[in-house]
Amino acid sequence: MLDRIRIVLIGTSHPGNIGATARAMHNMGLSDLALVAPRCEPLTSDSISRASGADHIVHAARVVGSLVEAIADCTLAVGASARSRTLPWPMIAPRELGSRLPLELADAEARVALVFGREDSGLSNAELQRCHAHVHIPTNPDFSSLNLAAAVQVLAYECRLAWLEAGSDVDAQDDEPHQPLASHRELEHYFAHLERTLIAIGFHDPTQPRQLMARLRRFTLRARPERMELNILRGILSATEKCSATPGSERDEGTP
Ligand code: SAH
């Protein structure tokens, strides 16, 4: 289970925080680290010394250009944020997040990403809106922002606690018949298709977005669609596109 939890750091600017994150991860048995557009060299004497023997995690870290790339294969992404946002998103407490993980990761194909922001400005709204839920570590409201690696430590600890509590057979719990959930890559393709179609039928004006796509994103992510369900929705979009592009289209067929 712990092998399929990815820590994603976006735009990190201090190598020491990358090293300290690797240490926090290795302490808790996590190993999958992705760095999105880091604003520093990840491997420096500072990061290696702060990793204190967990530098193999920094060496193995995948460096990618975008969040979308970092979480493409994930079935659940949770964004860690110290602040509340204007368009509220489903919130989950750290302990609740941990307790959901054994079930989330019961399917051997499932992967979870925990996404962390920049030291100076955190996560953008667009980045948070790519996540299914947000997690806030309850801190002193007058001083709520933890050091990046400290925030990773707290959530990695919750992952380990949940794994210990679930027992060692957590990875073998996959006996329920199920349909695989859609991955982030599949969801992103769906959102792009949805936006295209809504523009084509005149429902969505990208010059006056009014949070439409963000709201539809929140609604869809909340539903946790299966791959099969997303395929049905994409089929509906294709039929809608075809219908709106055809003059005297099927829309009129059969109407008196
Ligand atoms: N100054 C930034 C916070 C940066 S701290 C801001 O105002 O948003 C770096 C990252 O650590 C954050 O982006 C977040 O992912 C994580 N973090 C820090 N404190 C947190 C908290 N209380 N709860 C959840 N995540 C937190």
The range of the structural domain enclosing residue 233 comes to 184-245
**Model pTM?**
0.90
Q: How many CB atoms lie within 10 A of CB 160?
A: 18
Give the range among 65-69, 149-153, 252-256 with minimum mean pLDDT: 252-256
Using most ligand atoms within 8 A of CB, pick from 18, 114, 131, 146 the residue to mutate for ligand 1: 146
Cα 3 off chain centre by: 16
What CATH number is given to the structural domain containing 130? 3.40.1280.10
Q: How far apart are CA 54 and CA 72, in angstroms?
A: 26
Is residue 173 assigned to a domain?
no
User: What is the token pair recorded at 87?
Assistant: 């368009």
Average pLDDT for residues 98-114, to the nearest whole number?
A: 95
* pLDDT at residue 1 greater than cutoff 50: yes
141 and 50, same structural domain? Answer: yes
Average pLDDT for residues 26-32, to the nearest whole number?
A: 98
Burial 167-185 (b: 16+ CB within 10 A, else e): eeebbeeeeeeeeebbbbe
Give me the torsion for CA of 146, 151, 153, 158, rounded to 10°: 130
pLDDT value at position 246? 78
230 and 188, same structural domain? Answer: yes
* pLDDT at residue 170 greater than cutoff 80: no
68 and 35, same structural domain? Answer: yes
User: What is the token pair recorded at 139?
Assistant: 């801190």
pLDDT value at position 83? 80
146 and 86, same structural domain? Answer: yes
Using most ligand atoms within 8 A of CB, pick from 81, 140, 153, 158 the residue to mutate for ligand 1: 81
152 and 49, same structural domain? Answer: yes
* pLDDT at residue 253 greater than cutoff 50: no
pLDDT value at position 256? 43
Banded pLDDT at 169 (limits 50, 70, 90): low
Ligand 1 closest atom vs CA 117:
13
Question: Which residue's C-alpha comes closest to atom 11 of ligand 1?
Answer: 148
Share of residues in the chain with pLDDT > 90 (%): 85
Is there an atom of ligand 1 within 6 Å of 123 CB? Answer: yes
Banded pLDDT at 168 (limits 50, 70, 90): low
Minimal CA–CA distance to 102: which of 27, 29, 168, 34?
168
Is residue 251 assigned to a domain?
no
Contact yes or no for 3/31 (Cβ under 8 A): yes
Count of positions (residues) in the chain: 256
User: What is the token pair recorded at 88?
Assistant: 């509220």
